Structures are given as structure tokens and as C-alpha cells.
Amino acid sequence: MTGKFEDSCVISGAFRSRSGRKLSVDPWELSVEAALGAIADAGLEVEAIDGLSTYPGPVGSTPGITAGGTQDMKAMLGLKTRWHTGGMEMPGQLGAVINAMMAVHAGLAEHVLCFRTVWEASAQRQVGSRAKALDDSAMLERTQWTSPYGVGYPNYGALLMQRYFAQTGATREQFGTLASVQRDNSLLNPHGQFDMPLTVEDYLAARMISDPLCLLDCDMPIDGSVAFVVSRADSNAIDAARAVRIEAVGSSLGYEECAAMMWSRTALRPRDIGAAQLYDGWSILTALWLEGLGLCEPGQGGRFIGDRARISRDGELPINTDGGQLSAGRMHGFGQLYEACVQVRGEAGERQVPGGRKPQVVSVGAADFTSCMLVA
Amino acid sequence: MQRPRPHVSDRTRAYWESGADGRLRLARCQACGHYQHPPAPVCPSCRGRELAFEPVSGRGTVWSYTVNRYQWKEGMPPPYVIAEVELAEQPGLKILTNIVDCEPEAVTLGMAVTVRFDEVDGAYVPVFRP
């Protein structure tokens, strides 16, 4: 395909704020830290930012899932913007980045700041569980179907996992291997959330939340923020050598649909991929993305992630090289794209995947809230 | 077990009150016969605008299930089984529900189940038993 909109823009800056379980830092402070970090990383003056994009905006589904919207950011940084958008209705969390790319391609902005902040660790302490918050919120239209049955978010992951096990013969040991490999990766990541390795035996002994989904299949709620700057590819103001290209995006609903769209927009093929940064809100989603993206044969996701050598940093297809959300914390999709940028730039230090600059595939979301990208 | 009462709206009242006579009723397109759940004002199959709640057999199979170990609701101590039941009437016609009246360990994928209702303040919550 020629003249695709992805070619008009690059990620010129990327930054991840301090993050953790007990940061005791105001979440808006984290947003500002990431925003200013990304702008500086792009080599831009703050005044150069003329667009803003975020997910989910100032109003989220549950406490801690967001900290301020585009208008808050505009006010805080004193920006003069030409274009902005934010909200929950978009193709996955990275829809915020895709929207920014479209705005740059359309000429509505030259440098769009994209940001995502979570403070779910603090929210858990301050206001309790997400399940309770849903009952108290304006989502009663949806929760009438779940509340009488005592359904919490992880139960959805468990239902997926149970059926996946039954249909493919996948095992808990295989998912334990994925968790263990991701933990190893996170120990080499300054943003990692743990000090200790995790063995498959540790995983198998972990508290069961909803059979067969255990605590270590769930990502780790943290406070933190990640920001990117999406710039015109022909901008003279950015450092072209450090610019990261988005080779292709997928914005359809569903894993396979998203992947099919992405692969249709590029000559690259799964064999060209250097590493996969796959969403792991629950570990089962990583297996579903792996299959959906065509990185392994249908039904073979469990076997693939159960092969430690294959998915480790020096393996055939390294997965979640920063530790993923299981071990580097729930940055809600933006962490996966951040790690892809770091790897493509060759700035991952000890956890750098060997073999030189290779494209990374990034996927975020689940079910009917999905997006994926090839980062080159 | 004390379930939370579902938040009933005008669009969903017929569903939640259906169990008063022991029968499950789902929204059905009057043009093409397609069932849908949850109920919406248009048929996703033929875009028909005439929908009515009609009784279904109340029989189905367990599409997937999980034994929940975490207390999400005050009146609902774990463990209990959350499941998606695929109804006999139509492939892909699924209801998120609980499997009741059996040990959690007895539930299996594909198991045949039948509806019954738990009343909560005038709302009849469909649950399924072997």
C-alpha cells in the first residue's frame, strides 16, 4: 500500500513517569511528569505542542483509571492547541495514539501529546475495589447483567481461560512460564515492580481468584503515567535518528480482525518481528493476541508461551520484554507501546533484545476493545 | 446468598419480571425470529424493529464457567460458579449467569443445564442448574 496515513507521522518522544504501588504522588503530577518528559525526549519546546490526545479522558469507568483530560493538560501546560480529543470509545487504549496520527496526517496538528495516567494502586486503598465502584457508578445499564451474579472483572478472564484450556489443552504450567519469563524481564527494567524472580512453582501456589485464573494471571495495579509525542515525519524540529515509525495499525474490533487489518497495511510478516509487546491485563489475553496476530498457529498459544527459551529475550519471539503489566505494572496498554519504542531505539540496556533494530508488534485491549501496531 | 437486585430499566423490565411464572423470555425479532440478549430495540440480524419477549425452553449448555473465589458482593460469599450458558434456541445465544444446586466441582464445559429463578424484590434473576 502506498500513501498510507501511518507514513505521515512518527513517535518523536516517549516517556514513562515514576510508577509504583506506594508512590504517594498526586496522579496529575505524574501526568505532567510524563508529558514534560515526552516533550523533552522529542527535543521540542512545550510551545510546539499543538494537539492533545488521551484515553479515557477526565471521566473513567472506575476510580484510578484516569487523571485529567485534554483540557486539564492544556490548562496545566499553558498550551495553545489546534486539535484535541479524548474519550473511552475508541479502538483500544492506543486509539488515542491512532487518533493523534490521523490528526497529524490530516494537517490539524504538527506535534500531538498523547498521555495515559493511572492511579489504581492508590484508588484501591482510598475507595475500595473496582467491583463496588461499578455498582455505585453511572454504569448501571451494563451492570444489571453482572451485578446479580456476583461478577467481578477477573471472572471474564477466568471464563476465557477455562474455555481456552478445554479447547486447546493449554495448562496452568504454560501460563506460569509466561509469568516467570516476564518477571525475569522486569528485574532488568527500572520500571519493574518486583525485586524477586518468580518460579512456575510460585505461580502454581498463588492464590486462586477465579478458577483457573490466579492472582499472578492478573496485572498489577499501580500509579503511573506514560506519554508520547506524535509528530509530522517531515518535521525539522525533531531528532530523526530517534524517531519511531508506526509501520501499520489495526483498529478493528477483535483480535483477528485487528491483526488482519494491520498485516494488510504492510509488507512485513510475523517472521520479521523482533519482539512482541502483547497486552496482559490477564495473561490469557497474551495467548489470545499471540494467536490472533498469527504469531503462532491457532490453538498453539499455550504451547508457545510454555516454551521458556522461545519467548525469552534471546529467543525466537521475545514477549513483553519490560515485564509486561504482570510485572512492570498496569500502564493499561501504554506501557507496551513505550517498551516497543525503547527497544526499537536500542535504549533498553540490559534487557535489549539482541539482533539489532527489528520491528516490534504491540497489541492492547480485549474482546471488542482492541488495537495493534507495528513499530519500526 | 443475598444477590444484589438488578437495575431494571423500561427496556429490560419484561426480562427481569419474566420468571414470575417460572419461564424465561427473551427478546425476539418478529420478522426473522432471531433471539437477542441483552434486549435492544433493533434486530442485529435483519434490522427488524419489531421485537417482543417470547418464552424459550430454558435449556442450554455451559459454554464456559469459573469457580469464583473472591468476594465481590457483600451478600455473596464465595465460592460460587459464574458461567456463560449457551441456550438451546440459537447458536451463540449466551447468558452470563450462575450455576446453582450442585457442587462447584461438578460443573463441566458442555454440561446440560436448565433455568430456574431467584427472586430479589420482584426481580426474577435467571440462574441455571444441572
Q: Does A138 touch chain B (CB under 8 A)?
A: no
What distance in Å separates the CA atoms of residue A138 and residue A253, rounded to the nearest whole number?
A: 24
Tens of pLDDT, residue by residue over B63-94, are: 999 999 999 999 999 999 999 999 999 999 99
Cβ contacts of B69 on chain A, cutoff 8 Å? 207-211
- Per-residue DSSP letter, A148: G
Tens of pLDDT, residue by residue over A294-319, are: 999 999 999 999 999 999 999 999 99
Interface predicted TM-score (ipTM)? 0.93
Cβ contacts of A140 on chain B, cutoff 8 Å? 7
Of B9, B63, B70, the CB nearest to A141: B9
Q: For residue A1, what pLDDT is reported? A: 46
Mean model confidence pLDDT for chain A: 95
Cβ contacts of B5 on chain A, cutoff 8 Å? 148
Of B16, B66, B123, the CB nearest to A210: B66
Which residues of chain B are at the A interface, by a Cβ-Cβ cutoff of 8 Å?
3-9, 12, 16, 38, 63-70, 72-73, 76, 80, 82-84, 96-98, 109, 118, 120, 123, 125, 127
Tens of pLDDT, residue by residue over A27-44, are: 999 999 999 999 999 999
**Residue A148 to residue B82, Cβ atoms within 8 A:** no
- Nearest partner of A41 among A309, A286, A294, A229, judged by Cα: A229
Contact yes or no for A94/A374 (Cβ under 8 A): no
Q: What cell numbers appear for A112 in the block?
A: 500531538
Q: For residue A135, what pLDDT is reported? A: 61
- Pairing mode of beta strands A51-54, A111-119: parallel
Owner of C-alpha cell 457508578: A137
Contact yes or no for A40/A70 (Cβ under 8 A): no
